[in-house]
Structure formats: C-alpha cells, structure tokens
A and B are shown apart, each in its own frame.
Chain A
Amino acid sequence: AQKVTQAQTEISVVEKEDVTLDCVYETRDTTYYLFWYKQPPSGELVFLIRRNSFDEQNEISGRYSWNFQKSTSSFNFTITASQVVDSAVYFCALSELNYGQNFVFGPGTRLSVLP
C-alpha cells in the first residue's frame, strides 16, 4: 500500500537558516506523483509543487528547492534563508497512477521560524 512518512514532527530554526523537510514514500507503482503543500497558521492549504516519478530533476523556485531521489524513495524540501512567513505545517503527498486510492498525505512537519 502507498504510504508517506514525514519523520520530523516539529522543527524550529532561526530566521535566515536553511532547513530541509524530509519526505519518504512507499509505493508499488512505477508511475506516481509527489506533492508538497503548505498550511500556514491561518489554516488554508497551499499547493507548492507536483513531481512525477519519471522526472528526477531537482526543482528550484526562489528560496524553495526540492530534491527527488527514486533510489531512496525520498522527496525532500529545502527552504533557503528561512523567513518568519515560512512558519507553517508542510505536508508531503503521494498519488499512484495504477494502484490505491487518491492522494495519501503524510502527517506533516510543523516548521517554526523564529525571528
């Protein structure tokens, strides 16, 4: 069955530090999709990125970057030079093409960026 693990329950950093959020997934499918979402204190869920299993190129968007490694079944998220506004809960999610239900979310990592 598909599964997403985010081993870091909570992380605290000081502003301007770099921080990496880990995501490890399990799937029996050869085609699948990985996602990251952000949930700030206001409660809404914000889509950040979608990656398919055939594209292992790392992605960079401003201060955000994602490292996808099929060999270790990981899809980690790095925030460079963190800011207070990055404080949120971050969810990793997995969707298989051929098996299982729709999205499976990890339990989330709460990131606190201190001024």
Chain B
Amino acid sequence: DAGITQSPRHKVTETGTPVTLRCHQTENHRYMYWYRQDPGHGLRLIHYSYGVKDTDKGEVSDGYSVSRSKTEDFLLTLESATSSQTSVYFCAISESERSEQYFGPGTRLTVT
C-alpha cells in the first residue's frame, strides 16, 4: 500500500472556525491532490499540487486554500468553515499527472 496518512481522521468543528487537514506521504510522489466526497457527487477535486509550492485549483476550490512547503506534506485549509463543507476529504498522490492516484484513508469533517 502507498504510504499516505491523513490527520486528523475525524473532526467536528463549529461554523466560522479555521480548520487545517494534513496529508503526509512517504512515496516521494510529485503530485498530490485533495478531494471531497459527498453522496451523489462521487469525488470532486478541490486543489492539487505538482511540486513544492506549486498548486492549482480544482473543480470546487472556493472556500479552500492549500500549501505545500515540503514534498511529503500537503495541507488543506478551510479559512472559515461552513456547514456546506461537511464532507469526507481524501488526499491522493501520483507519480505523474496522468498516472493512477493512490488515496489516503480519508478525513471525516463535520461542521456544526
């Protein structure tokens, strides 16, 4: 299994508070991704990174920011959490932009 961890695995937070989710990999893959999974929508890309300090927006990036200061870590920040951001968040990694992605275990975030 690809070495990908996510922390925390579960979080409950209140509307308006900042939240940071962390993705850590031990595979030295160049590409990292953040997705959210919601019923009826499959997985939707939030942001991705193609190298240290190189990031780009995905399909549903509003309300989210990311940072990647090291190859192994990719952070997703919700500056001011809203109830619509209640979801399961998955991190993924890949060697290249078109190769298969390997996913972390997911983080279940509840915004009350």
Query: Which A residues lie at the B interface, using CB under 8 A?
Result: 33, 35, 37, 43-45, 47, 50, 91, 95, 97, 101-103, 105-108
A43 B105 Cβ-Cβ under 8 A: yes
Contacts of B102 in A (CB 8 A): 47
Specify the main secondary structure of chain A where it touches its partner.
loop
CB-CB nearest 9 A-B residue pairs: A45-B103, A105-B42, A105-B43, A107-B42, A50-B100, A47-B100, A95-B98, A33-B98, A108-B42
Tell whether, in the assembled complex, residue B106 and residue A91 are in contact, meaning their CB atoms are under 8 Å apart: no
CA of A101 to CA of B42, assembled, Å: 16
| A102 shortest CB reach to chain B, Å | 6
A-B contact pairs, 5 of them (CB 8 A): A35-B100, A44-B103, A44-B105, A107-B40, A108-B42
Q: How far is the CB of A98 from chain B (nearest CB, A)?
A: 10
Cβ of A45: which chain B residues have Cβ within 8 Å of it?
43, 90, 92, 103
Verify A102–B99 contact, CB threshold 8 A.
Answer: no
Cβ-defined contact, B105 with A97, below 8 A: no
Inter-chain contact A91/B42, CB cutoff 8 Å: yes
User: A102 contacts B58, CB within 8 Å?
Assistant: yes
Q: How far is the CB of B40 from chain A (nearest CB, A)?
A: 6
User: Cβ of B19 < 8 Å from any Cβ of A?
Assistant: no
Residues of B within 8 A of A106 (CB): 42
Contacting residues, chain B, for A43 (C-beta < 8 A): 88, 105-106
Report B23 CB to chain A, min CB distance, Å: 14
- For B43, give its contact among A91, A95, A97 (CB under 8 Å): A91
How close is B34's CB to chain A, nearest CB, in angstroms?
11
* Partner among A35, A47, A97, A102 whose Cβ is within 8 Å of the Cβ of B45: A102
Residues of A within 8 A of B58 (CB): 101-102
Is B41 among interface residues, defined by CB-CB distance under 8 A?
yes
Q: With contacts A43-B88, A102-B48 known, is A50 near B99, CB below 8 A?
A: yes
**Interchain CB contact (< 8 A) of A102 among B33, B42, B106:** B33
Q: How far is the CA of A101 from the CA of B98 in the complex (A)?
A: 11
Q: Are A101 and B45 in contact (CB under 8 A)?
A: yes
- Are B45 and A103 in contact, with the CB atoms below 8 A? yes
